[in-house]
Structure 1
């Protein structure tokens, strides 16, 4: 599946900081932005199906059949300033009334922060509950974050990329996690591969479990590098 990319822009130099600090800082921006894009779909559905105050609604018997479909759709969230903040696109959207969930085929998410940085996510399938508080991506999941240059234009190369077969974003717990292997690439040529992954935004914690391997560049020219291999256990 081809990933989306913002327009080309000039690169800029950034001061060197420890890789773990950079990773935690970048991941802290993922959760609210990804959830904001997911909520664009959830908000649209809730508004559309909110009955009038004097309207009597007779609930149908539970069934696991879609009561609504959308094909080749695009849903957008606009901020108070009138600017685009989030977009959800897909080949087909299906809503299931018995579980109040929405399934999206070939889901594509775009979230734009106030400073102009962009988070893009693609997957074969997305599943979200009615209020968008639980967003799950399945199959060839790719999430990218693009920073901006001094003019506010997005840089051509993502500063952080997460790849895997599954990714879940939970707004109530403020967590981004996966029980399946993930690969994380971030600026400076560093890469981390883990069997499971958890980012806890409330506690500012990134943790992994199972066998984890990492490769970290130690020089700006990328000639020198260290490779680490070991097992990491997620903190409770």
Structure 2
């Protein structure tokens, strides 16, 4: 019989939508690389941490080879900072759909990504929600939500960290902690600080 921590791990690790962060990284990388660059030979003025271009009310869509919409990133305001080569997005909203048709949403008051999208930070009301879908065998997979005031994500390494309170919800099951360390490749999940959880028994058919 599996232990309670093992059951918790089974409930969380299989469904944690790290792939979504990869889509966010791809979109932010595209935004950074698609921005106009300074003409060759132009003298770049010395400046501090100031944005060199802005985007307002923008939307970036990523399509698959058959023309299907894979993901869309929207923001109220985007700012690129050349001194750190980072992209900051206010009121970030993302919708993504994988090859199996599973839809995931992400949102945050502010998102900050480095140039290649390998490191993404979500600040304020950070939330990732995967909609409930039926599995291949016809067994429904409940909605999954992963949220907190701060989420630090390394999409390529499939790692998520947070030193702020976090909440993981899968269907009626709910877990809270003061922090989180997640490594999908190493299959390691660490809920830090005061951890509380509730598992609701499934109704028998």
Superposition TM-score tier, normalisation by shorter sequence = 0.7 to 0.9
How many angstroms apart in 2 are the aligned matches of 1:19 and 1:139?
Answer: 26
Partner of 1:181: 165
Please show how residues 52-91 of structure 1 align to structure 2 within 5 Å: 55-56=40-41, 58-91=43-76
How many Å apart are 1:18 and its aligned residue? 4.2
1:195 matches 2:182: no
Partner of 1:216: 199
CA contact (8 A) 2:32 2:87 kept: no
Task: In structure 2, list runs of 5 or more residues that go unmatched.
Answer: 1-5
CA contact (8 A) 2:167 2:174 kept: yes
Aligned pair partner of 1:161 in 127, 137, 145: 145
How many angstroms apart in 2 are the aligned matches of 1:57 and 1:64?
Answer: 20
How many angstroms apart in 2 are the aligned matches of 1:26 and 1:166?
Answer: 20
How many angstroms apart in 1 are the aligned matches of 2:192 and 2:121?
Answer: 20
The verdict on how the C-alpha distance between 1:32 and 1:50 changes in structure 2, with shifts beyond 3 A counting, is farther
Query: Considering only aligned residues, what root-mean-square deviation do their CA atoms show, in Å?
Result: 2.5
CA contact (8 A) 1:37 1:85 kept: no
Partner of 1:225: none
The verdict on how the C-alpha distance between 1:158 and 1:109 changes in structure 2, with shifts beyond 3 A counting, is farther
| SS of residue matched to 2:174 | strand
Task: In structure 1, list runs of 5 or more residues that go unmatched.
Answer: 1-16, 222-236
How many Å apart are 1:81 and its aligned residue? 2.7
How many Å apart are 1:19 and its aligned residue? 4.4
How many Å apart are 1:115 and its aligned residue? 0.8
1:44 matches 2:1: no
CA contact (8 A) 2:9 2:189 kept: no
How many angstroms apart in 2 are the aligned matches of 1:23 and 1:179?
Answer: 19
Could you state the TM-score of these two structures normalised by the residue count of structure 1? Answer: 0.74
| SS of residue matched to 1:217 | coil
CA contact (8 A) 2:97 2:103 kept: yes
The verdict on how the C-alpha distance between 1:48 and 1:71 changes in structure 2, with shifts beyond 3 A counting, is closer
Partner of 1:35: 22
Partner of 1:231: none
Partner of 1:9: none
How many Å apart are 1:23 and its aligned residue? 1.1
| SS of residue matched to 2:19 | helix
